[in-house]
């Protein structure tokens, strides 16, 4: 800390004393303040018989800065404490989410204390989530059938022991008297790292063998070689299934870094390859299309694509087309993006257009609204692409930069492969042409070069080919010294007879499949509006963007919808530009390779996991021993991961293999997924899933089906590293930290007291099973992992240290006053959570004050102005963008057996085998979509009564034109039915059903023919239903049942049957493709739900 307290203006006495609740009671302070208040007296504001009391919420000593998790925007929050209780949450002014520009990071905490940032209503209601009366304090064990909601509370140690050792665990449950449950100890079969390594290498050999006969021979050879260890495998005839350890699946809903490190470490220690998240229920295809776009050409192949995406630099854009994004209510936007937009809209500096079948709050501020038909993103985008290409309004200079050097020479950070030549075979674009393969006069255009790989081997670099003024020219994509600027549109036959086109040409032809008028008609949007928006997009240089979110992504054609919009961005040349498309940037928490700091990824003794994942991702179907032609039994996902809709349904089909134990952390797939009821059917079947363990803060809509629920800490009690979003230009790392005393009981693991939590559960299982990487020397010699703080505080120390090995990027030291504030603000926390001496011991003396400095500010935040360098962003993507995707084009759709398209194109909504669902539409005339309101986040915010007050129940939004046609009136109750759920009921298991009934809301904001409901209502758990614990009935709160959740009306895939429809490429669930009918509900009693 460079500045000392004396340089600062002293805090006024009144202020200082008001903050120092340490001084004691108000009685005492009244005496002390008597003099201070002379003049304003006992009645500074209001003369009355009631004495004044100090406003302690303004004082730093009553604040803990943290990060919100009421949704995943992760705004910086300031939690204000009264007597150790959070009574008010505001925005953290150090965070760029809640103030623009945010306060400089070096602002003293006392000086920042009176400055509050802005925060959305959900964030402010977060304290109600934490103090919810339904919060769990003890471990619950199932005492009835799965989902019956009969429980007993059991000691933490008993739960751990039972899960690890197995046995006749549910002898008291009818039907399970004799059921033996296999415990984790038996499932963690393969523990020998050497055996695992050898098996992994041999399995790789099997997968890489293309000839099926030879592949089978390799399997036989495997069985001979590993004869002694075959009992460790799931199925010796399919060594590629991997070891039995893979029959443990660790799944999660919302998991952020830190906790993610813990949970993934747990999976690694268990030796399972199955650690799967929820991405595809959010906007998976947005992530995985951008992953495909960001694959880098390295060592002769495309690899290293990032699971991420770009958003507009909201603050500096001149024109933004928002597609299926409503950032005033969701989409990682409300506090951070609204503020960056509204003033610019009012002054006319920024103009926006919104494409959405529903007129959102965002649309209410738009210059133009394109009310497109759901799923018709590609037609609108391709119409714009066609117009922009034909009118030559694209950024030709950017598109022509064929390599890194060319990008640098033209002031760009990134470059695009639009000019690279694609080989056309049988009229179809396939692989990119390699210079070493192109023979001119018998000589290769450029001879292949031997180059070293990262792991010390060699590979043949064969180079790409572009046309430069009509002459084929080899290009080294990563060459930083020799710029290659190439021809944009190429359609020719080379001297050796190879037919080639440039990627941009391939895109043009895709866009020319229809005229702009035809495209417009397909989306039912005015052609003139499409052209007007395209004109605006190409009128402000690089300070423009197409900013997309769930809307385009959550369709069966999500991948290509996203690719169309992102290709349009490439034509605009707006990547890394101020006002263009930007990406997130964060301070590292992991400490890998930071010299003497903490590597929290170090995992001594871990056994390398291998084998096909339970959701069949990251691997081509054709490579596996399961290959048996098309369609596969279920879809394979070589280009994506975290396929949420496959985790439980795949268990139901035991494909690729049976699963014995499922962990679910902070996930509610039964509620959140389209056709979520398909998951309930599997979860209720103890034969399909023998052991199901949940970590939850309450009995939730999925954890209610578990065998054991471990109580977890809410976001106000735990640690996490929230990370950032692509709309934040600054480098940041918000830190979530313990704010209130834990609600769950304490437990003891590795001899340490700690609150029950996800981490405690993991540590206890690790202790019971002696798993590597936990406990004594868990990270390294003398670096233990016995308490959650051992990981999280070291992560904070890494943030504080920064990324320069010499420590020159470290934050300042907290001064004495800041340390005092730090201690005062945490005086209500039990020692098992906050113990200054213990904390200090973990991070060491040299880092302690830096850690305090970061925690006092709720994370680390770069100064606002450092987000840019001139007209470029300071943290650019700065890499190759694949307008044409060779890797995608080489991938085969496991449902159809056909190669995927490598370029943006229109794909209709289809089922798994590529059939359009016309039969499902027949008789169901309304397209169903969903939307988000600011007051709810899917499954987790219904606990908060303040939010219910804003919108007590959602309804079925419909245009009056449709309502008139269907004779429906405002407020009338209707049931939502579809071809795959003709009863309109949500089966909750054990014969209980919740009818999907909601009230009609007439509104002109809906496109005729489309109906919508807001997510977050219509609960059956999460405090909505009665539960029996230890023989006592605890009543559900009726308020939480209100409204409708119609996900179970969304189509199940007609081929796969036990999951929703999905995007076979990007993995997204289909949220917006279903067609439904609204059936009026007769009689007053019809709404009475079957819920207890």
Q: What is the DSSP string of 297-350?
A: EETTEEE---S---EE-TTT-SEEEEES--TTTSTT-HHHHHHHHHHHHHHTS-
- Residue 596 belongs to what H/E stretch? none
How many Cβ atoms from other residues are within 10 Å of residue 360's Cβ? 24
Positive or negative, the Cα torsion across 510, 514, 516, 520? negative
Q: State which of residues 22, 137, 214, 816 lies at the interface with other proteins (CB under 8 A).
A: 137
Is 895 a binding residue for other proteins by CB under 8 A? The answer is no
Q: State which of residues 17, 69, 119, 207 lies at the interface with other proteins (CB under 8 A).
A: 119
Residue number with CB closer to other proteins (45 or 224): 45
Contact stretch for other proteins (CB under 8 A) within 38-46, 800-808, 974-982, 1072-1080: 38-46
- Of 907-966, binders to other proteins (CB under 8 A) are 934-935, 945-947, 949-950, 959, 961
Q: Give start and end residues of each alpha helix (H) in 627-666.
A: 644-653
Is 536 a binding residue for other proteins by CB under 8 A? The answer is no
Q: How far is the CB of 845 from other proteins (least distance, A)?
A: 28
- Of 150-179, binders to other proteins (CB under 8 A) are 151, 153
- Of 325-344, binders to other proteins (CB under 8 A) are 328-329, 334-335, 338-339, 342-343
Q: How far is the CB of 939 from other proteins (least distance, A)?
A: 18
Contact stretch for other proteins (CB under 8 A) within 77-85, 409-417, 422-430, 873-881: 77-85
What is the token pair recorded at 95?
A: 């965070």
Contact stretch for other proteins (CB under 8 A) within 42-50, 460-468, 822-830, 992-1000: 42-50
Is 45 a binding residue for other proteins by CB under 8 A? The answer is yes
Closest CA to 200 of 147, 271, 256: 271
Is 180 a binding residue for other proteins by CB under 8 A? The answer is no
- Residue 886 belongs to what H/E stretch? helix 886-889
Contact stretch for other proteins (CB under 8 A) within 109-117, 240-248, 731-739, 1081-1089: 109-117
CB contact set of 237 (below 8 Å; sequence gap of 6+): 219, 223, 625
- Of 553-582, binders to other proteins (CB under 8 A) are none
Residue number with CB closer to other proteins (83 or 469): 83
Residue number with CB closer to other proteins (115 or 878): 115
Q: State which of residues 64, 71, 99, 769 lies at the interface with other proteins (CB under 8 A).
A: 99
Is 345 a binding residue for other proteins by CB under 8 A? The answer is yes
Residue number with CB closer to other proteins (192 or 524): 524
Closest CA to 368 of 504, 577, 518, 536: 536
DSSP 8-class letter at 1019: -
Please give the radius of gyration of the chain, using alpha carbons only, rounded to the nearest integer. 29
Is 1000 a binding residue for other proteins by CB under 8 A? The answer is no
- Of 354-373, binders to other proteins (CB under 8 A) are 359, 361-362, 364-365, 369, 371
Is 120 a binding residue for other proteins by CB under 8 A? The answer is yes
What separation in angstroms does the CA of 121 have from each of 68, 325, 330, 542, 941?
Answer: 12, 19, 12, 34, 11
Q: How far is the CB of 151 from other proteins (least distance, A)?
A: 7
Q: State which of residues 261, 1037, 1053, 1073 lies at the interface with other proteins (CB under 8 A).
A: 1037
- Residue 1013 belongs to what H/E stretch? strand 1010-1014
Total binding residues for other proteins by CB under 8 A?
A: 116
Is 822 a binding residue for other proteins by CB under 8 A? The answer is no
Residue number with CB closer to other proteins (42 or 599): 42
Q: State which of residues 21, 66, 90, 406 lies at the interface with other proteins (CB under 8 A).
A: 90
Q: State which of residues 32, 36, 105, 131 lies at the interface with other proteins (CB under 8 A).
A: 131
Task: Give the three-state DSSP class for 845.
Answer: helix
Is 197 a binding residue for other proteins by CB under 8 A? The answer is no
Residue number with CB closer to other proteins (545 or 698): 698
Q: Is 789 exposed, middle or buried (CB count within 10 Å of its CB: 0-12, 13-18, 19+)?
A: buried
Residue number with CB closer to other proteins (114 or 805): 114
Q: How far is the CB of 327 from other proteins (least distance, A)?
A: 9
Residue number with CB closer to other proteins (448 or 950): 950
Q: How far is the CB of 359 from other proteins (least distance, A)?
A: 5
Residue number with CB closer to other proteins (432 or 698): 698
Is 127 a binding residue for other proteins by CB under 8 A? The answer is yes
Q: How far is the CB of 815 from other proteins (least distance, A)?
A: 13
Residue number with CB closer to other proteins (49 or 481): 49
Contact stretch for other proteins (CB under 8 A) within 282-290, 664-672, 1001-1009, 1065-1073: 1001-1009
d(Cα 1041, Cα 892) in Å, to the nearest integer? Answer: 44
Positive or negative, the Cα torsion across 922, 926, 932, 937? negative
Q: State which of residues 393, 841, 1003, 1090 lies at the interface with other proteins (CB under 8 A).
A: 1003
What separation in angstroms does the CA of 739 have from each of 77, 719, 753, 827, 833?
Answer: 11, 9, 18, 11, 10
Place of tokens 């804003």: 950
Is 135 a binding residue for other proteins by CB under 8 A? The answer is yes
CB contact set of 292 (below 8 Å; sequence gap of 6+): 305, 559, 563, 639, 882, 885, 887, 888
Place of tokens 């800490």: 713
Is 353 a binding residue for other proteins by CB under 8 A? The answer is no
Residue number with CB closer to other proteins (345 or 812): 345
Is 584 a binding residue for other proteins by CB under 8 A? The answer is no
DSSP 8-class letter at 166: -
Encode burial over 1036-1067: b for 16+ CB neighbours within 10 A, e otherwise.
bbebbbbbbbbbbbbbbbbbbebbbbbbbbbb
Q: How far is the CB of 162 from other proteins (least distance, A)?
A: 17
Residue number with CB closer to other proteins (571 or 1006): 1006
How many Cβ atoms from other residues are within 10 Å of residue 740's Cβ? 21
Is 870 a binding residue for other proteins by CB under 8 A? The answer is no
Is 1033 a binding residue for other proteins by CB under 8 A? The answer is yes
Q: How far is the CB of 375 from other proteins (least distance, A)?
A: 18
Residue number with CB closer to other proteins (358 or 1045): 358
Residue number with CB closer to other proteins (138 or 191): 138
d(Cα 1012, Cα 1007) in Å, to the nearest integer? Answer: 10
Residue number with CB closer to other proteins (105 or 630): 105
Q: How far is the CB of 706 from other proteins (least distance, A)?
A: 14
Task: Please give the angle made by the CA atoms of 976, 981 and 987, to the nearest 5 degrees.
Answer: 95
Residue number with CB closer to other proteins (492 or 1003): 1003
- Residue 9 belongs to what H/E stretch? none
- Under a CB-based contact definition with an 8 Å cutoff, are residues 1040 and 1073 in contact? no
CB contact set of 536 (below 8 Å; sequence gap of 6+): 319, 321, 351, 353, 367, 544
- Under a CB-based contact definition with an 8 Å cutoff, are residues 820 and 109 in contact? no
Encode burial over 499-523: b for 16+ CB neighbours within 10 A, e otherwise.
bbbbbbbbbbebbeebebeebbbbb
Q: State which of residues 300, 1039, 1057, 1079 lies at the interface with other proteins (CB under 8 A).
A: 1039
Residue number with CB closer to other proteins (77 or 883): 77
- Of 671-710, binders to other proteins (CB under 8 A) are 698
């Amino acid at each position: 800390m460079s500045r000392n307290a004396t340089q600062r203006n002293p805090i006024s006495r009144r202020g200082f004393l008001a903050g120092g609740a340490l001084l004691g009671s108000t009685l005492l302070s009244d005496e002390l303040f008597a003099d201070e208040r002379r003049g304003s007296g006992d009645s500074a504001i209001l003369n009355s018989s009631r004495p004044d009391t100090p406003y302690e919420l303004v004082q730093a000593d009553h604040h803990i800065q943290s990060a919100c998790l009421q949704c995943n925007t992760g705004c910086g929050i300031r939690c204000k404490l009264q007597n150790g209780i959070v009574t008010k949450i505001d925005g953290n002014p150090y965070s760029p989410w809640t103030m623009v520009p945010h306060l400089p990071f070096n602002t003293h905490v006392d000086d920042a204390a009176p400055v509050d940032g802005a925060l959305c209503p959900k964030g402010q209601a977060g304290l109600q989530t934490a103090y919810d009366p339904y919060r769990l304090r003890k471990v619950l064990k199932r005492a009835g059938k799965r989902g019956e909601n009969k429980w007993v509370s059991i000691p933490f140690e008993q739960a751990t022991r039972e899960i690890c050792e197995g046995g006749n665990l549910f002898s008291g449950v009818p039907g399970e008297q004799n059921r033996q449950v296999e415990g984790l100890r038996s499932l963690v079969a393969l523990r020998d790292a050497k055996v695992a390594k050898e098996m992994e290498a041999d399995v790789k050999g099997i997968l890489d063998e293309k000839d099926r006969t030879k592949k089978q021979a390799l399997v036989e050879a495997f069985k001979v070689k590993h004869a002694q260890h075959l009992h460790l495998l799931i199925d010796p005839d399919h060594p590629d299934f991997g070891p039995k350890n893979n029959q443990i699946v660790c799944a999660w809903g919302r998991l952020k870094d830190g906790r993610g490190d813990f949970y993934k470490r747990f999976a690694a220690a268990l030796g399972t390859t199955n650690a799967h998240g929820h991405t595809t229920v959010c906007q998976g295809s947005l992530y995985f299309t951008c992953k495909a776009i960001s694959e880098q050409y390295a060592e002769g192949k495309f690899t290293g694509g990032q699971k991420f995406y770009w958003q507009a630099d909201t603050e500096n854009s001149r024109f933004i087309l928002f597609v299926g994004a409503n950032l005033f209510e969701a989409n990682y936007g409300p506090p951070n993006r609204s503020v960056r937009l509204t003033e610019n809209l009012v002054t006319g500096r920024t103009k926006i257009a919104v494409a959405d079948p529903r007129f959102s709050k965002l649309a209410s501020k738009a210059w133009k609204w394109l009310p497109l038909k759901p799923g018709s993103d590609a037609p609108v985008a391709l119409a714009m692409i066609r117009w922009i290409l034909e009118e030559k309004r694209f950024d030709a200079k950017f598109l022509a930069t064929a390599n890194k050097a060319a990008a640098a020479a033209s002031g760009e950070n990134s470059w695009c492969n639009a000019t690279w030549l694609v080989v056309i075979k049988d009229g179809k674009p396939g692989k990119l042409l390699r210079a070493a393969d192109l023979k001119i006069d018998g000589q290769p255009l450029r001879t292949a070069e031997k180059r070293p790989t990262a792991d010390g081997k060699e590979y043949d670099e064969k180079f790409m080919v572009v046309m430069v003024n009509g002459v084929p020219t080899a290009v080294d994509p990563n060459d930083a010294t020799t710029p290659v600027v190439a021809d944009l549109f190429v359609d020719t036959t080379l001297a050796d007879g190879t037919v080639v086109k440039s990627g941009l040409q391939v895109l043009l032809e895709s866009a020319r499949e229809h005229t702009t008028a035809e495209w417009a008609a397909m989306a039912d949007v005015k052609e003139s509006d499409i052209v007007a928006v395209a004109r605006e997009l190409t009128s402000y240089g690089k300070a423009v963007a197409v900013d997309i979110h769930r809307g385009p992504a959550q369709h069966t054609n999500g991948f290509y919808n996203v690719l169309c919009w992102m290709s349009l961005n490439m034509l605009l040349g707006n990547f890394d530009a101020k006002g263009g498309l930007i990406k997130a940037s964060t301070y590292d928490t992991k400490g890998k390779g930071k010299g003497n700091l903490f590597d929290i990824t170090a995992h001594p003794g871990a056994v390398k996991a291998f084998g096909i994942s339970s959701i069949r991702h990251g691997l081509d179907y054709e490579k596996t021993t399961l290959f048996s032609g098309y369609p596969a039994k279920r879809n394979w996902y070589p280009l994506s991961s975290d396929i949420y809709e496959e985790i439980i349904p795949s268990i139901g089909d035991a494909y690729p293999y049976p699963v014995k134990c499922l962990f679910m952390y902070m996930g509610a797939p039964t509620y959140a997924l389209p056709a979520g009821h398909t998951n309930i059917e599997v979860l209720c079947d103890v034969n399909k899933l023998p052991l199901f363990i949940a970590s939850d803060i309450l009995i939730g809509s999925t954890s209610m089906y578990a065998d054991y629920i471990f109580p977890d800490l809410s976001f106000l009690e735990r640690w996490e590293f929230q990370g950032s979003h692509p709309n934040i230009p600054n480098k940041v790392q918000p830190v979530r930290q313990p704010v209130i005393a834990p609600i769950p009981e304490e437990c003891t693991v590795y001899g340490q007291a700690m609150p029950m939590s996800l981490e405690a559960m993991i540590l206890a299982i690790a202790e019971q099973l002696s798993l590597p990487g936990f406990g004594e020397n868990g990270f390294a010699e003398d670096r233990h992992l016995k308490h959650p703080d051992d990981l999280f505080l070291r992560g904070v120390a890494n943030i504080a240290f920064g990324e320069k090995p010499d420590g020159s990027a470290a934050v300042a030291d907290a001064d004495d006053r800041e340390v005092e504030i730090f201690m005062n603000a945490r005086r209500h926390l039990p020692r098992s959570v906050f113990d200054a001496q213990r904390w200090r011991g973990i991070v060491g003396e040299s880092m302690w004050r830096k850690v305090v400095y970061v925690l006092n500010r709720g994370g680390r935040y770069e100064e606002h102005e450092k987000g840019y360098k001139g007209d470029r962003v300071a943290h650019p993507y700065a890499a190759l963008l694949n307008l044409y995707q060779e890797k995608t084009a080489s991938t085969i759709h496991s449902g159809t057996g056909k190669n995927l398209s490598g370029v943006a194109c229109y794909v209709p909504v289809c089922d798994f085998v590529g059939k359009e669902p016309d039969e499902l539409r027949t008789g169901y005339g309304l397209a169903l979509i969903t939307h988000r309101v600011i007051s709810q986040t899917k499954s987790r915010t219904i606990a908060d009564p303040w939010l219910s007050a804003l919108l007590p129940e959602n309804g079925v939004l419909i245009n009056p034109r449709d309502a008139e046609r269907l004779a429906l009136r405002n407020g009338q109750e209707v049931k939502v039915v579809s071809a795959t759920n003709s009863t309109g009921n949500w089966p909750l298991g054990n014969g209980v059903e919740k009818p999907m009934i909601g009230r009609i809301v007439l509104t002109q904001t809906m496109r005729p023919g489309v109906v919508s409901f807001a997510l977050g209502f219509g609960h059956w758990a999460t405090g909505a239903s009665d539960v029996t614990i230890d023989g006592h009935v605890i009543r559900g709160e009726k308020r939480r049942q209100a409204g409708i959740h119609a996900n179970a009306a969304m189509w199940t895939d007609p081929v796969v049957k036990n999951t929703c429809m999905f995007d076979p490429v990007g993995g997204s669930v289909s949220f917006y493709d279903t067609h439904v009918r609204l059936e009026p509900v007769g009689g007053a009693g019809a709404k009475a739900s079957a819920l207890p």
